[in-house]
Each structure stands twice: as C-alpha cells, then as structure tokens.
Structure 1
Amino acid sequence: MSEYLMEDAREAGRLAEKVDAPGWVRAHLSHVMSPRAAVLDVGAGPGHLADAVLCRWPQAHVVALDGSAERLAAGASRPGDSGPRRCCAHACHLPFVSGTFDVVYARLLLQYVAQRGAAVREMARVTRPGGAVVLFDLDGQLMWHDPLPAELGSLLARIRPALSAAGFDPNTGRSLYRLAREAGLRGITVRVEPYHLIAGRADAAERARWELKLDIARPFLHRALGSQAAADRAASLFLDFLDDENTLTYCVAFTVTGLCP
C-alpha cells in the first residue's frame, strides 16, 4: 500500500480548513441523498465532510473512514455528542459487507492511492444496487503554471517521478470516468470545474494554506530532491511564484457520479 505523502500532526486541521464542508456537501451530494441514507465517506480525514452530511441530514447513518486513526480522532465529537461513526481502514479493503450503503463518496483521496481501481471497485461493492458512488479529485495539480521559472520547473520535474513512485497521480481527475466504468457503475455523469486558480499574487489566506501544505510536504521533498536545502529551495521558489503579480497557476476538479447496477 502507498503511504500518505502528507502524514503530519497538522494535516487534520489543514484538511478541515481548506474546504467549505457544508457547501461541498450541498453541491456534490444533494442530488444523490435521501433523509435516512446510509453514507460512507472514504478518506474522511478528521471527518469534516461526514459531519456536514449529518448536519444536513440528521437521520442519515454516516460512517467516516480513514487510514489514520489519529486524523479521525482529531475531528471526533465531544463526549456525549452525536456524530458519524468513525472507522480506520484502507480504501482498498473496506470492512463492510456488500451493499451496505446508499451513498459512498471520496473527495481528494484517489490521487494518493496507488491501487485506484481496487479502491473504486471496493466503493462500488459496498454500495447497494441503485445507490450512488461519488468520486471527486483533481487534474493538473502542481502541473500547470505560467510563466514557469526555469529553476522551479527543473525542481518540479525532479519531484514528479518521486510522486509517481509513491503512488501519487496529479492527473487523477481524468481517470475517474474510466475507473467508474471499470467498477461497473452505470448512468455515469462527469462534471469539471476550476479548483486552484490563482491569477496574480495569491491573497494572504491562499498563500498561508500553500505555505502550510509545502511545510507538511517538506520531508517528502527532502527525499525526492536528495537534500533539505533543495527541499527548502523548492518551497521558497513556489511561494515566490505565488507572490508574483505576473503569474497564473491552476488545476481543475472532476466529479464523477455513477449508480450501482
């Protein structure tokens, strides 16, 4: 199994802070939900999306599943509070009998999973006939920048093979339709929308999110580039790029929804 590249005590907070969980749930799950649905969040992190699902549909049965018990615990409800059930397991080996859930979704998980096809097949397996699988992931992450400075481009070119070797695919989004079909899903819909889009200088909040992300990724950058100095240089150059009024960086998000036959 591939190891999560962003393993860090700060990761649970970063994952929760970077998304409007109620907004994402409303935009991407409302069309497949029913009030009492059984729902599985695969790669839930601290469970911020699962919490939002339960807040919007209080009678739903929601399970937040993640490969890290620590991340799950970081978002656990206070004693006495109701909340989603939390389960630690790998996406390729879901510990549920077939046909358990009405809705299964994964947001920004599959880009980190080397065995993406196995994970999507597992999601389809635990979804009841007529239930929905919702896959959301990025395409072009860390790939599309203009104008790309030569030194930063050279460092990124060295990092990408290491990402691939670790099971990370920056272009996962475009593969979701194929993976859904291979898993036997039917009535598949595909939606594409901007995700990262920074034209000119990043605002303070966006820059702070990238600074934290790069800091958490620094051990991986060290391994990929061979030295801490090179890792620090890559992070510094990327932040300089985000500070430049003349630059643009972007990627897109794919949402693929399919029904189990």
Structure 2
Amino acid sequence: MPEYLMEDPTEAERLELKTKRDVVLKELAFLPLEPGLRVLEVGCGTGAVTRILAEKVFPGLVVGLDFSRERLCAGRGIASVEGARNVEFVCGDLFSCGLKEGCFDLVFSRCLFQYFAGERGKEALRRMKSLARPGGRVAVADVDGMCLYRFPEDEAREKALQALLSALEPLGFDAFVGRKLYQMFRQAGLKEIQVDLIPHHLITGKTDPLTRRAWQMKLAILEEHFQKAFGSREEALGWRERFLQDLSDEDVLLYNLMFIVQGTA
C-alpha cells in the first residue's frame, strides 16, 4: 500500500487529541450497534474509536486493524489502562491481513477513505464487504471539506487551497470523499444503503486548546507538501499562520461535514 500521508512520529498523539468522544458517539448513533456484535474497525490507528465501539457492543469483540506497529502499540497500552477487555488489535494491510472473510457483523472505518482516493478506495470498500458476514453491515464515516468551508469567503485563500489540494491529490488524498461514498457503495454491490450527514468541525472563533493543538500538529506534518504547493517555506508558513488565526477569529466561520454511509453485504 502507498505510504500514509500523515506518517510521523507524532501521529499517535495527534489521533488521540483529535478524536473527540462526543463527536464519535453522534456518528456511531447511526450504526446498528448492540451488545454481542463482532466488529472490525479498519485503519484504527491508536484505537481511539475502537475503544468506544467496544463499549457499545460489550461483551462482543471489536478488532482494530492498522498497518502501524507503533500506533497499535500505543493503542494496546491505552486500552489496557482503560480496561477495554473486548478489544483486539491486528497489525497488517487491509488486503493481506489474514483476517477470515465473512465473519464480522459490522466492518467500519472512520476518516480513512480520505486517504484512499480513486480506485484505491473502491478496492478497499470491496475488501471490507468481503470481511462482513452475509447480511452484515459495512459502514464508512468520512469528511467532506476538511474544514475548508469558510465564511466570509476569501478569494486568495481559496486559490491557495486549490493549489494545496492539487499537490496532495497524487498522494491519494481526497478532501471531498464524503460525497462520493454513496456511489462507491452502490458500485461495490452493497444493499439497503443508508446515508446520514452531520457537521464535523464547526468553528466560530472559539477553538478549544486541544483542537487547536491537533490542527497545529496536522499542519506541521504536512509542511513539506505545503512548500511544494506554495513554492517556498515562507509562503507555506504564512498560509499556515493565517489558517490558525481563522481558528480563533470570532468573525470567521469554518466548517466541514461528516458523511456516515452504510450498506448490507
């Protein structure tokens, strides 16, 4: 599989910072979660969402799959401290992880498909379908907009963002994957498709310190790509500072959307 765009020694910390329990619970409320289910989370990272899923289906089992040994090691430690007894972690690639096909009641991913642009995402969804039992559910929650929607509109900012997105596209990143999930589910042959849509980020100049820190970490990881998009380190740093200023500007509205799409295997 291609390298993860956000690969960095700080990524485990960032994932824990950015995953807000109240937000995740609102998303999971759309899923058919009940005690005793066997659930697979694809691209689980440190297991921040895995642990919440485990609470919802206890005493059922939740398996978290990720290719990063470092993040899974961190996840095992956190799960142990929190007493999550019905969680297992598997290190491997979605396409060659060795998990038995057709044995999960629910196969789920959150904020993964934004890194699976084009055919790669379609292949990943078909693979997720194969891991669900007949009649089981496959669900994907992913963003549309990546906090790119802003009011008042700023023409220079929009132009810079387009340059950035163009630079990230060849790396497999799709900031607008959320709106494409419904068609992807249909093409994968999933049935009884359900689409739900809720706000993800909704920022009105009152960003809490943890959210701001998570954004700072994300932008720092992507700095090399910013430089390529904007032509110089100075331009890249200038754009980053303007974005961070927007997070605390009470005259600016920033938002994006979360699509939760699910279907029957």
| Same fold flag (TM > 0.5) | yes
CA spacing shift, 1:94–1:123, aligned 2, 3 Å? farther
Which residue in the other structure is 1:251 paired with? 256
Q: Secondary structure at the match of 1:104?
A: strand
CA spacing shift, 1:21–1:205, aligned 2, 3 Å? closer
Which residue in the other structure is 1:189 paired with? 194
Conserved 8 A contact 2:205-2:246: no
CA RMSD, 1 decimal: 2.4
CA spacing shift, 1:155–1:68, aligned 2, 3 Å? same
Q: Give the total of aligned pairs.
A: 260
Conserved 8 A contact 2:144-2:257: yes
Within 5 A, what are the aligned runs for 1:80-119? 82-114=85-117, 115-119=120-124
Within 5 A, what are the aligned runs for 1:77-156? 77=77, 78=80, 82-114=85-117, 115-156=120-161
TM-score (norm 1): 0.89
2:171 matched to 1:160?
Answer: no
- % identity of equivalent residues: 36
Which residue in the other structure is 1:75 paired with? 75
User: How many Å separate the matches in 2 of 1:71 and 1:195?
Assistant: 24
Shift of 1:98: 1.9
User: How many Å separate the matches in 1 of 2:205 and 2:23?
Assistant: 26
Q: Secondary structure at the match of 1:75?
A: helix
Q: Secondary structure at the match of 1:158?
A: helix
CA spacing shift, 1:10–1:81, aligned 2, 3 Å? same
Shift of 1:42: 0.4
Structure 1 letter corresponding to 2:38: A
User: How many Å separate the matches in 2 of 1:244 and 1:127?
Assistant: 45
Which residue in the other structure is 2:45 paired with? 45
Q: Secondary structure at the match of 1:133?
A: strand
Shift of 1:30: 7.2
Conserved 8 A contact 1:25-1:49: no
Select between 151-160 and 44-53 the one with higher mean Cα deviation: 151-160
CA spacing shift, 1:158–1:85, aligned 2, 3 Å? same
Q: Out of 161, 175, 178, which is 2:180 matched to?
A: 175
Shift of 1:150: 4.4
User: How many Å separate the matches in 1 of 2:144 and 2:136?
Assistant: 26
Conserved 8 A contact 1:22-1:53: no
Deviation string 1:33-52 (CA, Å, 9 cap, x unpaired) is 34222210001010121122
Within 5 A, what are the aligned runs for 1:181-220? 181-200=186-205, 202-220=207-225
Shift of 1:83: 5.0
